[in-house]
Amino acid sequence: MESKVGSYFTLTALILAVLALIFAVSPGTIGRGITVVNSQDDLKVIAVSGTGELDVVPDQAELTLGVMAERKTAKEAQAAMAENLDRVVKVFEGQGIEKKDIRTVGLNLEPVYDYRSDAPPKLIAYRASSNITVATTKLDAVGDLLDLAVESGANTVQGVRFIIKDQEKAKEEALDKALADARKKADRVASLTGVKIKETKSVTVLDFSSEQPMPVYLRSAAKLAEGEAPSTPVLPGQIKFNVRVEVQYLLE
């Protein structure tokens, strides 16, 4: 038993010494996400961290915009807003967007007061507003869709969000990269120290995140020079998925 334990300590010391020389750091926690566990119960375990990044081009856009109208009465404000909103929806449908891809995300009706310091608040109008979200796979047409919506009556634009339909697939690919990165580090440790990896003991996902691109709006200089109303090109960019894992490997 003492001989077996002694060999474990020798193996751990060898791994620490070699890695300390390679990475020029102190033994115990090795640089680049490699840790040699040196408690007596885990002498044959190496803990390795791995990272995976995946850049994916979005395949769907969500436009959020709305219509707001102010009139003397609540009924007039509601009617004016509904008329403009119906016109905006019909424009989208005319561009091939199905009704199932257009949904209402907000509806509001409120009084508008005139506030003056020398008089009590005075009701002067009513404001009706409604927002809709429109989903489309025609990313090249997002700018034109925004322009058409504004021309047809939309007077508020909350923004554009780019997404991918199959996010789970992208997450799995990023995770595969992180696991491959961890295994590459573990294999290097094993090769340099003359040991063999027996099997994976555990996998822990430490962090999983995605970075959404910020839409970029550009104006066409050529159309401006020609005196035409410029369209609003929107550049979708890429969505970045980041995964960080910790993997423990058992050594033979």
Q: What is the pLDDT of residues 176-225, one digit of tens each?
A: 999 999 999 999 988 888 888 888 999 999 888 887 766 554 433 334 34
Fold of the domain built from segment(s) 2-57+167-251: Translation Initiation Factor IF3 (3.30.110)
The model's pLDDT over 142-189, given as tens digits with 9 standing for 90+, comes to 888 988 898 899 988 888 888 888 888 989 999 999 999 999 999 998
Q: Which CATH architecture has domain 60-163?
A: 2-Layer Sandwich (3.30)
| pLDDT for the residue numbered 22 | 42
CB atoms within 10 A of CB 153: 18
As beta bridge partners, residue 101 has none
Q: DSSP characters for 7-26? A: HHHHHHHHHHHHHHHHHTS-
Instruction: Record the tokens describing residue 128, joined without a space.
Output: 């009706």
Closest CA to 47 of 206, 148, 192, 185: 185
Distance of CA 70 to the CA centre of its chain: 37
Yes or no: say if 36 and 19 are a contact pair by the CB < 8 Å rule: yes
pLDDT tier for residue 230 given thresholds of 50, 70 and 90: low
- The closest alpha carbon to 158, from 57, 60, 58, 67, belongs to 67
Reported as a single tens digit per residue, the pLDDT across 6-59 is 444 445 544 554 444 444 433 444 445 555 554 445 458 888 999 999 999 898
Amino acid at 13: A
Which two structure tokens, joined as six digits, stand for 197?
């990896």
Averaged pLDDT score across all residues of the chain: 80
Q: What pLDDT is recorded for position 108?
A: 94
As to burial, measured by CB atoms within 10 angstroms (0-12 exposed, 13-18 middle, 19+ buried), residue 241 is buried
Per the CB < 8 A criterion, the answer to whether 134 and 101 are in contact is yes
pLDDT at 5 over 80: no
pLDDT at 84: 94
pLDDT value, residue 52: 94
Hey, where are the domains in the chain? 2-57+167-251, 60-163
